[in-house]
Chain A
Amino acid sequence: MAVLGADHAAAAVRAVAASEHGRILATVIGATGDWAIAEDAVQDALERALARWPEDGVPRNPAAWITTVARRRAIDLLRSRGAAERAAARLAAEPALDDEPTERSAFPHGDERLALVFTACHPAIAPDARAALALRTVLGVSIERLARLFGVGEAAMQKRLVRARAKIAHAGIPYRVPGPAELPARAEGVRQVLYGLYAIAHAEPTGDDADGSAADEAIRLTRLCRSLMAEGTHERLELDGLLALMLLQHARRAARTSDDGTPVPFVEQDRALWHAEAAAEGLALVDDALATAAQGGVPGGRHLVQAAIAAEHMRPLLPARIDHERVVELYRVLERIDPSPHVTLNRAIAQANAGDAAAGLDALDGLRPALDGHPLLHAARGDLLARLGRDAEAAACFRAAADLAPGERERRGYRDAAAAADARCETGQAQSDSAAR
């Protein structure tokens, strides 16, 4: 064990938390049966690591170290709360872990982390707490970040999670993946959370998750969940779609941002940077699922349609060959089965890409009551107005988008677009002036 600086040790703790949080917590929950105590114990163990590792060095197996400390802490907490002496005794009787990771599992079909997701998504838990609880539990996402993601204050988010963990304990919500009879009814909620896990890991690749392990974890859990669903069923097709969607987005990971972190628009991405294997697997999944849906008369759901849209964009070798008419058609299917202003916004952009910017602009105007406070609507209007040569209006839209943008990077992007539209205006003005002279 090498003695390391505090920064180095902190980075090691963050790395373990990002990739192993779910596994560590799952082990402690499995032993205590109490989500609240397990959560506190793991937090305490992470803090202990932050305090100890700078001096003692990072242990050979950091996850096992934290698991062992968390289990000991859980025993203390169970005892001090005077509850469940028997649980404390059972936990104490388990062999110490020392430097070896636990591979024993009571979950034959996969692993305990999928059971965490299913339990967090139980319909008896308040809907507004499910995704947050899963994110907190499986990926260890911080309260501060959860509060930001779900648009509530930190105290309110903390309260939601405390409530949900208490409900699990008090109501006797089981910690397991449900059997085949219950699976279909539970699958929709789990799909939403799995996609939430992925989307959050994907949205901030340079945030808490620099090495992409949270996104890998979401993909791994989705594979496991897919393997539980009977072939040829709607549920299986939706998981095919969800997995494909994640793989297709994941394949573009390296091409999504330039070296300085600026987002690169889809059509400008260097396709050589795409991950060929992930892209090929995603495309094959979409093809097979669509074929099964057509042959068996099984309806696909929104995740399969979303994956089909992603596939239409990625299959052609050149962006110019994308079949935009087909994309518009797929968005209309999506609007039917899962209507939302954001789907309509994307359909409007697709219409413009298919050559009908005026129709797209009409559709966007219809969204103004629903999305007026949203930068994406103003940016999309700016884009379509610019395509129609209405640069002065376009510039105003981009400025409105910049005012609403949540981050500095987006703000800069919208300001640049506004400046470009202004410049085109001036050039146009100068040309007509000189023509008039």
Chain B
Amino acid sequence: MRYVLFICTDPDGEPYDPDTDDPGSWVEALEADGKYVLGDRLRPVEDATTVRVRGGETVVTDGPFTESREWIAGFDIIEADDLDEAVAVAARHPMARFGRVEVRPVWPF
């Protein structure tokens, strides 16, 4: 199955440690297993733009749709046999400790 991991900030997370919290080695390990599809960091919410079409008019606004203390800082698309494997992969991501990870199964068309 394919899962998207939303890597989120979390005000209640543990402190960041630059020596051990390296997403690079996490990606490498997944790539070596052939489980990694795609992923990246995302620019902060200040750089977000929200688009709506209402009555045929495109409305463009600055910032995210909702104000929140927690935001999506990155995403990774992975292959896993089942939820347990996806959870294990998510738990190894450094930001599971100083942020949190939302695991969402892909719903193919």
Q: Which residues of A are at the interface with B, using a C-beta cutoff of 8 A?
A: 122, 124, 170-174, 178, 182
Contact = CB atoms under 8 A, between A and B. Distances in A.
**Top 3 nearest A-B pairs by Cβ distance?**
A174-B82, A172-B1, A172-B82
Interface of B: 1, 3, 80-84, 86-87, 103, 105, 107
Contacts of B1: 172
Chain A interface main SS type: loop
Contact of B105 (A122, A171, A178): A171
A175 to B, nearest CB: 9
Contacts, number: 25
Nearest to A178: B84
Contacts of B3: 172
Nearest to A123: B87
A213 B84 CA distance: 33
Given A124-B83, A170-B107, A174-B82, 5 more contacts: A171-B105, A172-B3, A172-B81, A172-B82, A172-B86
A122 B107 CA distance: 21
A182 B82 CA distance: 14
Contacts of A124: 83, 87
A173 B84 CA distance: 7
13 contacts: A122-B83, A124-B83, A170-B105, A170-B107, A172-B1, A172-B3, A172-B86, A173-B82, A173-B83, A174-B81, A174-B82, A174-B83, A178-B84
A353 B107 CA distance: 60
A178 B83 CA distance: 12
Contacts of A170: 105, 107
A174 B105 CA distance: 13
Nearest to A173: B83
A206 B83 CA distance: 40
B38 to A, nearest CB: 19
A124 B103 CA distance: 10
Contacts of A173: 82-84
A172 B80 contact: yes
A178 B84 CA distance: 9
Most buried by B among A171, A173, A182: A171
Contacts of B80: 172
